[in-house]
Amino acid sequence: MNKQEAADFLGVSVRALERYVQQGRISVKYEKGKTRPTANFEQAELEAFREELNQPTVKPAFESRQTATDETRQISSESEYRQIATEQQQETGIAVQTPGEITEFGGIATVDKLASIIEGLLSQDNNQSKVAISDKLLLTMAEAQALTGLSREFLKDAIASGELKAKLIGKGWRIKRSDLNEYIDKLF
């Protein structure tokens, strides 16, 4: 039986049949054809696979991730941990925090520590030296647009005609502030 016949027999598409072959659920034998090898499937194997496909599958509406025995083990290990932690706390006088436990008022939990680290990193990025557009010597096309209020196309045309001096650095145009000021003065 060739691919198309096998797919029709199973009631699936040819692509689905190919996926079943790739998954190893069906075996195929290739025989030499006129121009390329042709796939041949055995009738008995296809009949057995069709029975497997036609069997109804029932999935539960909700699957629990832990069994009852796992839950009881987890609860007992947590209580043992808390008992050990309280013993350590009594001996040393230092509060011991259990994993996932929220600390009392005044204590710093892991979440608070992480939040303060993130805030510190964000404030470092914000505190880096930023130069205002009005203080820059070289301007990008977007900055020149924002400063002058002229469109990008207008500035590009001025650069192409040679009226506005600019240099292509990397992938973007850079315009000297003094050249931009001269160009604006010539416009009016």
Over residues 118-166, the pLDDT tens digits come to 877 776 655 555 777 778 889 999 999 988 999 999 999 999 999 999 9
pLDDT for 108 equals: 55
Quickly state the pLDDT bin for 91 (edges 50, 70, 90): low
Q: Is the pLDDT of residue 49 over 50?
A: yes
Percentage of residues in the chain having pLDDT higher than 70: 68
Residues of the chain with CATH 1.10.1660.10: 135-187
Per-residue pLDDT for 105 more than 50?
A: no
Report angle CA 163, 164, 169 to the nearest 5 degrees. Answer: 140
Predicted confidence band of residue 30 (pLDDT cuts 50, 70, 90): confident
CATH architecture of 135-187: Orthogonal Bundle (1.10)
The least confident of 27-31, 108-112, 120-124, 163-167 is 108-112
As a whole number, mean pLDDT of residues 20-31 equals 88
